[in-house]
Structure 1
Amino acid sequence: MYSVKATAGLTGLTPETLRAWERRYAAVVPHRDDKGRRSYDAAMLQRLTLLYRLTDRGHAISRLAALDDAALQGLLEDSRQLAYGAVDDLPGRMLDAIADYQVDVFDRELTVAIATLPLSVLIGRLVNPLLHEVGVRWADGRLAIAQERLVSSLLQARLLSILNQHPREHKARVLFATLPGEQHQLGLIGAALQAFDAGVPVLYLGAELPAVELARVANRVQAAAVAISSIYPAHAGQVLDELRSLDAALHADIPVWLGGANAAYLGEELALPRLRVIGSADALRHLALRV
């Protein structure tokens, strides 16, 4: 439990503002001892911090106080997204640079974005649109194979650096990998970053890891889940066999998260109780927040 003074210091509010929010809007209802002194628990501190951040962005406390914590968190995320309007022009500029083989320009723009943007904005407003635009330009002939590979290699190197530059003190909870035959990693890296942004300690193992080896690592570190991406239809049969091997070798209490273009098909074919098919970023974040 936290006193009024401690709560004000931790949330950024003044004691006077805290009292006013309680009295006028019932933003939180503090605990009181037998002498009437107020105290606050950790959940109240989290809510007050959300309220403080949103009022600092111009939202009225009279409107915010009626919202639950999930709605406040969503509103804060929307505010963060709107604050980075210039990001929407970046994918086009970066690919124009790659079209002229100006690798230094592309890399500089990407490095600055990684250093300055929240991960949710980086993935949702830069990386995903960039990958979509790569596909469009490659299909209509504006991007050569060499240029597409340049984008992939630069993105992969820089995004993996995010996972490696802030090592977690806690043991790995979710392992990310692809199985043999699946070389494509960008979608998997994006998923790992989303889990990382949700506060989950991530161990990124990369592409084409045999199922038996993946199970050995997951069992050894007592992972909370194993996340796998599969996108190549031609390799779906091989991945099916590997997933069966993974299911046989993995401890019974470790779920498997499956994403990518093949995920729905693989999930239907296997029908394994431990398998969770992930069809969207929101679904992944929901699972990550439960770890």
Structure 2
Amino acid sequence: MFPVKAAAELSGLTPETLRAWERRHDAVVPHRDAKGRRLYDSAMVERLARLHRLTARGHPIRDLARLDDAALERLADEARSAGYGGVEALPERMLDAVADYRVDEFDRDLSVAIATLPVPILVNRVVMPLLREVGVRWADGRLAIAQERLVSSLLRARLLSILNQHPREQRPRILFATLPGEPHELGLLGAALQAHEAGAPVLYLGTELPAVELLRVVERLEASAVALSSIDPGQARAALEQLHLLDAGLPGDVPVWLGGANARYLVEALGVERIRLVTDPATLARLVRRRAGRGRR
């Protein structure tokens, strides 16, 4: 249960707005403690956060407040997908610019996309298709190694700027990293952005972090969850060893979310309850909101 101030902070609202939505529109009906003070559970906080995101996209609260949670989620999905029909052509245009060493054009298109697109659209319809096309063009010789690294460098710098632009100080944090021998991070960065958009305080630790270092950060910061990416099959055995160490050292209530090309094999090979396969944005967002809403209970 959360008091008004905490519920407002977790959902991105001011306490005044929360009270107004409750009083005028019955957006949520809070519980009451023995002294009559309002208390909000994690489901209410998630609903308020969803209402906040939808009103930010122009939907009136008077219309939204009448909808149940399932209808709000459908509306959020439609809002994320609508109005961005020209986005599909953007990754190919950006790679054509890199192939011709028109770096300023690539960077300008990327900057505009970051400034104008919601994070789910940016990640799912620009960044991820861009990475897939980079792989295809590198494999068939249309992109040189230097061009591939140029794309990776620019993407990394710009995506990190989103995470660093509005740091979230409230705890618990969700840690994002790769294990030793895993230098590829753009997919991990995309996942961190999805978690950030879902309202979680994210701490992005980057690549090739040993389990012992992750455990130290979790302990010092009382982190809520650890999200890891593994894509190199040659690192599978080492990854299993590191994950065993992580499982043995983590507090019992801290989950490990594993994504990347190796994730399914690693999760099945380990058979550990806390280590969960997470490969799609919807599952990640749901888990993030659950952890953000309830802390480390």
What is the aligned partner in structure 2 of residue 91 from structure 1? Answer: 91
Q: Which amino acid aligns with 1:87?
A: V
List runs of 5+ in structure 2 lacking aligned partners.
5-15, 31-37, 292-297
* Matching residue of 1:37: none
TM-score, structure 2 normalization: 0.78
Match of 1:247 in 2: 247
Q: In structure 2, do the counterparts of structure 1 residues 211 and 46 end up closer, same or farther at CA, with 3 Å as the change threshold?
A: closer
Structure 2 CA distance for partners of 1:86 and 1:10, relative to 1, 3 Å: farther
Deviation string for 1:129-150 (max 9, x for gaps)?
Answer: 1112212222232222221111
CA distance in 2, matches of 1:148, 1:237: 28
Deviates more, 1:44-53 or 1:133-142: 44-53
Q: Which is bigger in relative contact order (C-alpha 8 A, separation at least 6)?
A: 2
| Cα distance change of structure 1 residues 204 and 51 upon mapping to structure 2, 3 Å threshold | closer
* 4+ residue runs over 6 A deviation: 6-9, 27-31
Identity %: 57
- Contact 1:51–1:72 (CA<8 Å) still a contact in 2? no
| 1:86-108, Cα deviation, whole Å (9 max, x unpaired) | 22221111111000011111111
Report the number of matched residues.
264
2:229–2:259 contact (8 Å) kept in structure 1? yes
Partner of 1:163: 163
Relative to structure 1, is the Cα distance of residues 155 and 9 closer, same or farther in structure 2, using a 3 angstrom cutoff? same
SS at 1:143's partner residue? coil
Q: Secondary structure at the match of 1:283?
A: helix
Q: What secondary structure is seen at the aligned counterpart in 1 of 2:276?
A: strand
Contact 1:50 1:76 in 2 (8 A): no
Q: What do residues 246-281 of structure 1 show as CA deviations (whole Å, max 9, x unaligned)?
A: 122222221111111111111111111211111212
Q: Distance in 1 between matches of 2:276 and 2:70?
A: 23
Shift of 1:157: 1.0
1:137 equivalent to 2:137? Answer: yes
C-alpha displacement of 1:220: 1.4
Distance change in 2, residues 1:57/1:271 (3 Å): same
Does the CA contact (< 8 Å) of 2:27 and 2:66 recur in 1?
A: no
Cα distance in structure 1, aligned partners of 2:220 and 2:125: 36
Task: Name the CA distance, whole Å, in 2 between partners of 1:246 and 1:104.
Answer: 42
- 2-side partners of 1:28 and 1:176: how far apart? 34
- Contact kept in structure 2, 1:178 and 1:230, CA below 8 Å: yes
How far did 1:56 drift? 5.7
Match of 1:227 in 2: 227
Q: Is the 8 A contact 2:50 2:72 kept in 1?
A: no
The one-letter amino acid paired with 2:289 is L
Match of 2:263 in 1: 263
What's the counterpart of residue 192 of structure 1? 192
Shift of 1:28: 7.0
TM-score, normalised via structure 1 length: 0.79
1:176–1:204 Cα contact (<8 Å) kept: yes
Q: SS of 1:203's equivalent?
A: strand
The verdict on how the C-alpha distance between 1:100 and 1:251 changes in structure 2, with shifts beyond 3 A counting, is same
CA distance in 2, matches of 1:84, 1:169: 32
For 2:33, the equivalent position in structure 1 comes to: none
Partner of 2:112: 112
Unmatched segments (≥5 aa) in structure 1: 32-39
Residue 243 of structure 1: CA displacement? 0.9
**Which region of structure 1 is more displaced relative to structure 2, 238-247 or 133-142?**
133-142
Q: In 1, Cα distance between the equivalents of 2:133 and 2:105?
A: 18
Q: CA RMSD in A?
A: 3.3
- Paired with 1:265 and 1:95, the residues of 2 have a C-alpha distance of 32
One-letter identity of the residue aligned with 1:91: P
29 and 163 in structure 1: CA distance in 2 versus 1, 3 angstrom threshold: closer
Give the secondary-structure state (helix, strand or coil) at the position aligned to 1:177. strand
Quote the Cα distance in structure 2 between the aligned partners of 1:198 and 1:8: 19
Q: 2:213 and 2:153 mapped to 1: Cα distance?
A: 25
Aligned to 2:106, what secondary structure does the other structure show?
Answer: helix
When Rg is computed on C-alpha atoms for both structures, the one with the higher figure is 1
Distance change in 2, residues 1:125/1:237 (3 Å): same
Cα distance in 2, alignment partners of residues 29 and 99 from structure 1 = 52
Name the SS of the counterpart of 2:189 in structure 1.
Answer: helix
Provide Cα deviations, 1:124-173, integer angstroms capped at 9, x if missing partner. Answer: 12111111221222223222222111111110111011111111121352
AA at the equivalent of 2:199: G
Q: What's the CA shift string for 1:186-242, capped at 9, x where partnerless?
A: 011111111010000011111001110111111111111111110000110011111
Equivalent in the alignment of 2:12: none
Q: Is the contact made by 2:198 and 2:288 (CA closer than 8 Å) also made in structure 1?
A: yes
1:13-69 CA-partner distances (Å, limit 9, x unpaired): xx9xx7xxx8xxxx97989xxxxxxxx9985994995798599669xx6xx888522
